[in-house]
Amino acid sequence: MLHAQKMDIRFLLVRPVMIRKKKKLLQRVIPKELEYTGDTYCRICKTLLEEGKILPKLEHQWNDGTVTKRATYETAGELTYRCRKCAAKRIISIEKLAYPKAGTSYTISGNEYKVSKPGAEVILVKTSKTTKNVTVPAQIYAQGITYKVTSIGAKAFNNNKKLTKVTIGTNIVKINSNAFFNCKNLKTVTIKSVHLTGKTANKKAFKNAHKKLVIRVPKKVKRIYKKIFKGLKVK
């Protein structure tokens, strides 16, 4: 009888190993240092053509590995190695990326920010002295990370004689004293944040600003903010 081209079938077996030979089920316990090559059957009639062999197990020869999943600040990555002799592979975890540490500095649109809480928050510490109109954003995006801008540092706008208008974003929880010191032409400040308290802000932040400075605030915190900035015009 002519048989179709041999088809090599290799099984992933769990010891004890069950293999079919001439319709009789045999059981073999294969030592760990050996491996079974698998039987060869006719592709059409499934007749056993050649019994597999038990041979010394060969060590895997791993390639240099490929990064199959890049690590991010949120998730671990994966490095996959493949055997050059067989289809075996192994996967090694790559640790998550470490967030830039506190104090790391970013300069965006001429403004300097420093990380106060790794991966989460920054402080606005310095601004351009030539800018007339500045918006302190609710957040910034740097090195693949979104940070909330939660504080305006002391002297962040210090001595900016050209500054006339400032808008303060919704995530600000603190305005340090002297943040706008000696900004003599600063006439309008719009505060969108509702998170300020008497412990995190006061009128000293606007020391030596324009005499007609007006601070515009959200309606629901107007009464509170009038107390915080007592002595200044709050609308």
- Residue 158, judged by CB atoms within 10 A of its CB (0-12, 13-18, 19+), counts as middle
| Residues in contact with 98: Cβ distance below 8 Å, sequence separation at least 6, in sequence order | none
Residue 131 near residue 110 (C-beta atoms within 8 A): yes
> What are the extents of the domains in the chain?
61-98, 104-234
Query: In which residue ranges of the chain is pLDDT below 70?
Result: 1-30, 32-33
The pTM of this model reads: 0.71
d(CA 19, CA 38): 8
pLDDT tens digits, 82-140 = 998 888 899 999 999 999 999 999 999 999 999 999 999 999 999 988 889 999 999 99
Q: Regarding the domain delimited by 104-234, which CATH topology (the fold level of the hierarchy) does it fall under?
A: 3.80.10
Q: How large a percentage of the chain has pLDDT more than 90?
A: 69
What was the pLDDT predicted at 47? 85
